Amino acid sequence: MIKNDLFLRALKGEIVERPPVWMMRQAGRYLPEFMEIKKEYDFFTRCQTPDLASEITVQPIRRFGMDAAILFSDILVIPQAMNIEVQMKPDFGPYLPNPIRTQKDVDAVIVPDVDVALDYVMKAIKATKEKLNNEIPLIGFAGSPWTILCYCVQGQGSKNFDKAKEFCFMQPLAAHQLLQKITDTTIAYLKAKVKAGVNAVQIFDSWGGMLSPTDYTEFSWNYIQQIIDALKEETPVIVFGKGCWFALGDMAKSGAAALGVDWTCSARNARYLTGGNITLQGNFDPSRLLSPPADIKRMVTQMINEFGKDKYVVNLGHGILPNVPVDNARAFIDAVKEYKG
């Protein structure tokens, strides 16, 4: 049994003494102990070495005592496993030297045996579970099929993912085939993670907000729904769509355990759009962690009051920024732990 199950209870919608807290991207770039590891090992070496990935996962837990850990990994391990080369360039980000642009490119993409291709992730989960020693739950994650497609077709990060959208709109058949291959791989991957020991999973639809509501349904949501349907009986599924407030109504009917909300959607609107019955997660502006610690504590308390302490997981509205001072991250976590509703 997990000793601190506050996070899992909140996902079930149970009455809690205070909401649980964790931070997207909490394992990493703002921590000095992470930077020490980063000096020695490149990005994908960190992801692919179970001892390193598990160590990075538990670093913030040792320091701050969040209510959940999230495995250190990356959404782009999926395309790597699918025979698509992905590099992580320093000071640039993801780079795919051979982006997918044609039907022939899509045909060359494989749906791998995840137990072989992503075995290192499962080993990292087992190593992390040992280190956590049943103190708190462990979250596994994957990118949404649309978000993965964005990188696979664009070949790198982008402000508008114009090439990815062009591919979907000019070659919809090829795009849907690619999305389905990514979806099938993601379902197998997340199921393997649950088997390896994660207690919940999160789907990151980082680029969902790039699409109109109609295109979102066609090119993103329909595939996320497949993932929820395949996983929801096995583990709680959290869906986080950045900029996707317009889809919150459909998301709330999906069978997901919780929905992540970004900082551009107020607590009141999020509750209204989702019908008030599903657990919500979010939505502190990551840049607000650059405010003085006393201000952070005050704003976090106000945020909890607005969402309500039940059916709520305190988090950021996107990943923590690298330049956030450690004391400010601590103020965020402490404000939740000290909350008296």
C-alpha of 291 from chain center? 24
pLDDT tens for the 341 residues of the chain, in order: 999 999 999 999 999 999 999 999 999 999 999 999 999 999 999 999 999 999 999 999 999 999 999 999 999 999 999 999 999 998 899 999 999 999 999 999 999 999 999 999 999 999 999 999 999 999 999 999 999 999 999 999 999 999 999 999 999 999 999 999 999 999 999 999 999 999 999 999 999 999 999 999 999 999 999 999 999 999 999 999 999 999 999 999 999 999 999 999 999 999 999 999 999 999 999 999 999 999 999 999 999 999 999 999 999 999 999 999 999 999 999 999 999 97
Q: Which residues pair with 282 in a beta bridge?
A: 261, 314
CA distances 2 to 9, 19, 21, 138, 194, Å, are: 11, 17, 16, 10, 15
pLDDT digits (tens, 9 = 90+) for 34-85: 999 999 999 999 999 999 999 999 999 999 999 999 999 999 999 999 999 9
HSE value, Cβ hemisphere, 13 Å, CA-based, for 105: 18
Other CB atoms within 10 Å distance of the CB of residue 285: 16
- Name the amino acid, one letter, at 107: D
30-53 CB burial, b ≥16 within 10 A, e <16: bbeebeebbeeeebeebbbbbebb
CATH architecture of 6-337: Alpha-Beta Barrel (3.20)
Task: Indicate whether this model's pTM tops 0.75.
Answer: yes
321 secondary structure, DSSP code: P
Closest-CA residue to 125 (of 57, 31, 46): 57
Q: Determine the angle formed by the axes of helices 172-196 and 145-154, rounding to 10 degrees.
A: 120
**Separation CA 98–CA 305 (nearest Å):** 48
Map out the domains of the chain as residue ranges.
Answer: 6-337
- Examine residue 283 and say whether the peptide bond preceding it is cis (omega within 30 degrees of 0): yes
- The answer to whether residues 20 and 30 touch, using CB atoms and an 8 Å cutoff, is no
What confidence score (pLDDT) does residue 341 get? Answer: 75
* Model confidence pLDDT, tens digit, residues 201-214: 999 999 999 999 99
> Which residues on adjacent β-strands are paired with residue 241?
205
**Binding site for substrate: residue ranges?**
25-29, 44, 74, 151, 206, 318
282 contacts 263 by C-beta, under 8 angstroms: yes
Residue 191 near residue 234 (C-beta atoms within 8 A):
yes
What are the beta bridge partners of residue 259? Answer: 239, 280
Binding site as annotated, residues = 25-29, 44, 74, 151, 206, 318
